[in-house]
Amino acid sequence: MRVFAAILREIPENLRPLFWMNALSALATTALIWLVSSATEDAAKGQFSSRSLLLFLVTVTAFGISHFYTLGTVSRDAERLIHKFRIRMFDLVRQADLITVERIGHGSLQRVLIQDAQTLAQTLPLLAIGFQQALMLLFLALYLAWLSPLACVLVFAMAGAVVTVRFRRVKALRLLMQEAQAAEEEVFGGLTDLLHGFKEVRMSTPRAEGVLETLAEASARARRSNASLKSQWGRNYAVVEAMFYCLIGLMVFVVPLFVTGYHQVVVPAMTAALFIAGPVGTVSFVTPMFTHADLALSNIEAMEARLRAAAAGEGAALPEAPRSIALEAAVGRRGGFTLGPLELRCQAGSITCISGPEGAGKSTLMALLATLQGLESGALLVDGKVLEAARQQDYRDRVALLSAQPRLFDRLYGLSLPPGPELQALLARFELSGRVFPDGDRLGTRGLSDSERGRLALLLAWIEDRPVMLFDDWAASQDPAFQQYFLTTLLPELKARGKIIIYASRDETAQPQADQVLHLEAGRLLA
């Protein structure tokens, strides 16, 4: 099974000690049955055996130690497995291109990284318990066969029937699980729309009612799927319980008809049968869990494979900071929109201004220049050479991409702030004094407006001092005064520092003094 293969591949270190501890637990359980039966016979004769009591205490201790070790180790290993999957997935997401992440969707990624990962983490300890109980059944079978071969055959024939009932329902349960997962994903996606589009939903009653109607329908499907799944579990449990009662009846009414002298071993045989009922119930309960774990692991591995296929190789560095970048016969696609073919060349110490209406392809162009999105055809050249896939991450590390609505993190990941006086001077220059409060690796803020968030993003890019600066309609969120200051003072200063500057805007009345002015219309660049 996929689960066992993943365990052997990812966390094989503790398998051998776990096996021996499970064997010790099973052996201790069998010894307990024998001791209980022996003590029962002694009690019927009015006798007390201190030796049996001491053996009982030793056996219980051995069972407890082995059981605790198994559960503790499996729980830690399960979380270790999930940690390895998550870290690997995080890295693959980081390496994937923008189009792949958009096609997969945030909801699907979060479901795999949270829901499926937790399902696997919660199920693996149960599977370990099932394996432990299966070993226990083996030892109990040997003990019961020593007492009465016929009783052993009947008991384990019934046990086999119980497990078979469970297995016969595995396919139906898997389908129900898949339906339930798909329904829950629809609910999650609808909730994401509601939260991310809160302002739009709040400002329109028809839109709000439409979103809520969609959410209600998805929730109803999730309710029906989950109810069917739980009902199936309940029916299976009821059947198993009824079969166990039949087992007791077989031991009491049927076996004595065929076994001479059965009355002499009926107490230990019944004790063994009752002990067997628990492990059989656990095994039959855990058996469908393999399907649940297999489905969760299948989702995780499928997502990992999809991201891995989109991840570019990394590691090679550019020989120096880019002095020029260019697009040659470049074509990019996003959804049904095609951009290009494009010809574009930009030099260090120059400003390239690209204007164009909404939907002309400016953001797609910026994504291509930043290598967030791969080219369908053509090439991106850095210093006259085609940018190799292995060098793309080093190139990205030298590019600052700023948009009108940037995503600001709570922490300063990978960025060191300048000394206090210099930082305060920058805050004043970007009109953020009294609005941003540095605290270690954090920048505390107080309800920044969109324009202030944009200026803070520019300030951080200013500190990073990357050689390539891409502005994707960044000035659109700024008030006229700061927009003018940006165009007439900040951009010329960046140009004087030798930056490659590409400024894209839909506002043709607010353009910088550029060395190159182009117009983007319907995916084509016009001089």
Tens digit of each residue's pLDDT, the chain (527 residues): 677 677 777 777 888 888 888 888 888 877 877 777 777 766 666 777 777 788 888 888 888 888 888 888 888 888 888 888 888 888 888 777 777 777 777 777 878 888 788 888 777 777 777 777 777 778 777 877 777 777 777 777 777 776 676 666 665 666 777 777 777 777 777 777 777 777 776 767 777 777 778 778 878 877 877 777 777 777 777 776 777 777 777 777 777 777 666 666 666 777 777 777 667 767 766 766 777 788 888 888 888 888 887 766 566 788 888 999 999 999 988 877 888 799 999 999 999 999 988 888 888 899 899 988 888 899 999 999 998 888 888 898 899 999 888 887 777 777 888 887 888 899 899 998 888 887 777 777 767 888 888 999 999 999 989 999 999 999 888 888 999 999 999 999 999 999 999 999 888 777 888 899 999 988 888 87
Q: Tokens 């979103």 — which residue? A: 211
Distances (CA, A) of 515 to 281, 327, 505: 78, 17, 16
Report the distance separating Cα 113 and Cα 307, nearest Å.
13
Helices and strands in the chain, H and E counts: 18, 12
322 Cβ partners below 8 Å, 6+ apart?
A: 348, 382, 383, 395, 398, 467, 468, 500
Q: What tokens were used for 385? A: 């050479």
What torsion do the CA atoms of 359, 361, 363, 365 make, to the nearest 10 degrees? 180
Where in the chain are all domains bearing CATH 1.20.1560.10? 2-310
Q: What tokens were used for 513? A: 């003094």
Superfamily of domain 324-526: P-loop containing nucleotide triphosphate hydrolases (3.40.50.300)
Q: Is the omega angle on the peptide bond into residue 341 within 30 degrees of 0, that is, cis?
A: yes
Beta partners for residue 379, in sequence order: 328
Task: Tell me if the pTM is above 0.75.
Answer: no
- Of 304, 190, 173, 297, the closest CA to residue 228 belongs to 173
Where in the chain are all domains bearing CATH 3.40.50.300? 324-526
Report the distance separating Cα 131 and Cα 204, nearest Å.
56
pLDDT at residue number 296: 83
Distances (CA, A) of 249 to 253, 261, 360: 6, 18, 79
Exposure b/e, 417-450, CB count within 10 A at least 16 = b: eeeeeebeebbeebbbeebbeeeeeebeeeeeee
| Cβ(384)–Cβ(454) below 8 Å | no
Containing H/E element for 144?
Answer: helix 117-147
User: Euclidean distance between the first and final Cα of the chain, in Å?
Assistant: 61
**Helix boundaries (H) for 315-379:** 362-369
pLDDT at residue number 98: 73
Task: Give me the phi and psi of 315, to 5 degrees please.
Answer: 125, -35
Q: What tokens were used for 2? A: 């996929």
3-class SS at 448? Answer: coil
Q: Strand 350-355 to strand 399-403: parallel, antiparallel, or no bridges (unpaired)? A: unpaired
3-class SS at 337? Answer: strand
Containing H/E element for 281?
Answer: helix 266-310
pLDDT at residue number 299: 85
Structurally, at CATH architecture level, domain 2-310 sits in Up-down Bundle (1.20)
Containing H/E element for 130?
Answer: helix 117-147
| Cβ(330)–Cβ(368) below 8 Å | yes
Beta partners for residue 503, in sequence order: 353, 471
Task: Give me the phi and psi of 53, to 5 degrees please.
Answer: -65, -45
